[in-house]
Amino acid sequence: MDITKIIAEELNVKVSQVEAAVRLIDEGNTIPFIARYRKEATGGLSDEVLRELGERLTYLRNLEERKEEVKKSIENQGKLTDDIVISLTLAKTLAEVEDIYRAYKQKKRTRATIAKEKGLEPLATSIYMQLEKRPIEEVAKEYIDVEKGIETLEEALAGAKDIIAEIISDEPKYRKEIKRLCYREGKIETKVAKEEKSNYEMYYDFSEKLNRIPSHRILAINRGEKEEFLKVKIEKPEEQILAYIEKDIIKDKNSQFAGILEETILDSWKRLIEPSIEREIRSDLTEKAEEQAIKVFGQNAKQLLLGAPLKGLTVIGFDPAYRTGCKIAVIDETGKLLDTTTIYPTEPQNDVGGAKKTLIPMIAKYDVDMFAIGNGTASRESEVFVADVIKEVKEKYGKELHYTIVSEAGASVYSASKLATEEYPDINVSLRGAISIARRLQDPLAELVKIEPKAIGVGQYQHDVDQKNLSESLTGVVEDAVNQVGVDVNTATPSLLSYVAGINKTIANNIVKYRDENGKLKERKELLKVPKLGKVAYEQCAGFIRVFDGKNPLEVTAVHPESYEIAEKVLQSIGYRTKDLSNKEKMKEIRQKLHSLSIPKLAKDLEVGEMTLKDIVEELAKPGRDPREEMPKPILRSDVFKFEDLREGQILTGTVRNIVDFGVFVDVGVKHDGLVHISEMSENFVKNPSDIVSVGDIVKVKVIDIDKERQKVKLSMKI
């Protein structure tokens, strides 16, 4: 098997690109490092493609390893043939390899093994090969042996049929063709298991072809079955399957063997093949659905992590609640905690007056600019209260205040975590959530990396999928987001630093400890003094680390230390030096001259790759730029919009909060996010909602249906 060729075909890239990527991965380079700093080698493969390439590389190598194990096992049994070797060589999946191995695997005692122990294998062979000229009953009588437990002709034939049934069941070509027929013609059918209202009512009498059913429906059905609302079965093309096996086995439909073999084939299908095929199909469908769900979750999480930060603002984090009160945390523009309190403007206390008396002086004292309101329980009631406070503050102090709704998913997970305890040992657990909500507005990435990725809350059935696969995928997503933005080494928490390429949790903690003991780092190479951060780790992480107000202005950019000399030559070619990057007046001229450079010519002159040079020039043109600044900012509100204000046909502006296979959820300012079904996203056919929008996008939508009883709203982007 040529692994590089297979991967190249699957990913639609060149074999040379795959070979280079595989070599770099095998050398221990991280995906973010390869994607950013080895573009010439890989032909500019993105981090997403490289991660997919890495996953397929691992799978295919495991497949090759398993093939060798199976081959050796069959060879040790003295049963290896050229046909088996060819079949193993051609197998493209682990499932195919296991089908080939099925007949040679050590089995538990089955009806067939018991029949073989009784000496009935020659009789089974006579029937299966259909070469016997004598009446088969006459042959079977020879196997009657009371001592072996074969007392009658019928028992001898039954044992032989058990052996044949297992031979048929173990035949890999039958299993392969049966699965193919099932996927082409089969359906998944669901029936109600208990008659009561639930989220699964659409599946109480449901059927859909296996080759058509989307992944989100598979996961919904699985959950409904797990919660015992649904009974699920795969409807298979049984007649076609039996006809296919009979045609392959029965040589003459009029022979004495035809009837026996037909009965045996039916028994093999019903008792042995069908149950295992059903399990395999359900497992395959679930695996593919989980892969899609994890992919959707990853895309959403990355977009959320790369949300635009609101810098330079003093923010009140407002964590809404009813009985226990709303938790308040005031955070300054650097993320430092200034004050906390708890107010009770919501039910059951409804102490709006007391809450205002506490909150308004706080706003004045700390010159607050913004409210970040968590979107959980009591969020809309809190929004009404905050909007009222904003009006009073404007009347009393003439100060313009705004608020925005922030996803609080995972805030409670963070609040009770070891990390939160270390950050705020003297702050009550319940108040830490308000701190997290405020900081998410100021810097989503720095705050969200403190939370287990699956708790971020922008997925689809994330709690139903394989948690190990989900965790690995999301860790990669967070790494890519962190490395895309870069990390300020002098302010970053260990949580943030641990996602930088080449830096693990131990090294991240060591960096913070070194910083605490020695003061701010002045240059990247100072990292080499950090315990356990050697040359290999330094090469991987250096380009993603930012050193602001340090010795070298290049260190606020993504230019890697290995390219400093090239960067200096680029600046020299337009008449400037590195130190000029710190001069705001000169930067305008530098930018103009950089944009007029001929990249191909300069790359040739400097003997550097064009892709690498292009990246260096872009970084020199915008030193210290945060790529998230180009992302849409959150919608800032000063007054509340109620569900009762909604009207069909109304055009609203909203924020995309979540993307799923069947559409997107948009926050338009009422209690629950509205759904834009995939069919309402565009006049053209939409295959994937992520092709149209991203989490955090600001979109215009039209209200097309309002369900007052369930407080749900349907929206359309076809305006």
Structure confidence at residue 670 (pLDDT): 80
Q: Which one is predicted more confidently, 534 or 397?
A: 534
Query: What is the per-residue pLDDT for 457?
Result: 65
Cα 557 to Cα 261, 592, 607, 620, 623: the distances in Å are 75, 18, 22, 7, 5
- The CATH homologous superfamily for domain 315-442 is YqgF/RNase H-like domain (3.30.420.140)
**What percent of the chain stands above pLDDT 90?**
71
CA nearest to 371, candidates 381, 361, 382 = 382
- Mean pLDDT value across residues 348-363: 95
Mean pLDDT of all residues in the chain? 92
Query: What pLDDT, on the 0 to 100 scale, is given for residue 608?
Result: 94
Residue found under tokens 């900012």: 633
pLDDT digits (tens, 9 = 90+) for 411-444: 888 898 888 898 889 999 989 999 999 999 999 9
Tokens at residue 396, please? 């009393």
- The string of pLDDT tens digits covering residues 17-35 is 999 999 999 999 999 999 9
CATH superfamily of 3-104: RuvA domain 2-like (1.10.10.650)
Mean pLDDT along residues 222-237: 95
**569-599 pLDDT, tens digit each:** 999 999 999 999 988 889 989 999 999 999 9
Report whether 18 contacts 53 (CB < 8 A): yes
pLDDT at 498 over 70: yes
- Whether 166 shows a pLDDT value over 70: the answer reads yes
What is the domain partition of the chain in residue ranges? Answer: 3-104, 111-297, 315-442, 558-623, 643-716
Residue-level pLDDT at 644: 82
Give the per-residue pLDDT at 297. Answer: 85
pLDDT band at 621 (very low <50, low <70, confident <90, very high): very high
CA distance 692 to 25: 33
pLDDT in tens, 434-443: 999 999 999 9
**pLDDT at residue number 626:** 87
> Residue 460 above 70 pLDDT?
no
| Per-residue pLDDT reduced to its tens digit, 109-122 | 899 999 999 999 99
pLDDT in tens, 591-614: 999 999 999 999 999 999 999 999
Kindly write down the DSSP assignment for every residue of 435-464, as one continuous string.
Answer: HHHHHHHH-HHHHHTTS-GGGG--SSSTTT
Please state, in angstroms and as integers, the Cα–Cα distance from residue 655 to each residue in 304, 444, 527, following that order. 12, 15, 40
For residue 574, how far is the Cα from the chain centroid?
45
Residue 456: the pLDDT is 76
Provide CATH code, domain 111-297: 1.10.3500.10
Tens of pLDDT along 257-314?
999 999 999 999 999 999 999 999 999 999 999 998 888 888 888 888 888 898 889 9
Specify which residues 670 forms β-bridges with: none
230-235 β-sheet, strand order:
205-209, 187-192, 230-235
**Residue that is written with structure tokens 């987001």 in the block:** 481
The pLDDT value recorded for residue 318 is: 96
* pLDDT > 80? residue 463: no
The per-residue pLDDT for 687 is 86
Provide the pLDDT confidence category of residue 690 given band limits of 50, 70 and 90.
Answer: confident
For 527-574, the three-class secondary structure string (H helix, E strand, C coil) is HHHCCCCCHHHHHHHHHHEECCCCCCHHHHCCCCHHHHHHHHHHHHHC
687 CB neighbour count, 10 Å cutoff? 8
What's the confidence (pLDDT) of residue 708?
83
* CATH assignment, 643-716: 2.40.50.140
Q: How many helices (H) and strands (E) does the chain have?
A: 30, 15
CA angle 503, 507, 509 (to 5 degrees): 120
Ramachandran class of 44: left when φ > 0, alpha when ψ lies in -120 to 50, beta otherwise: left
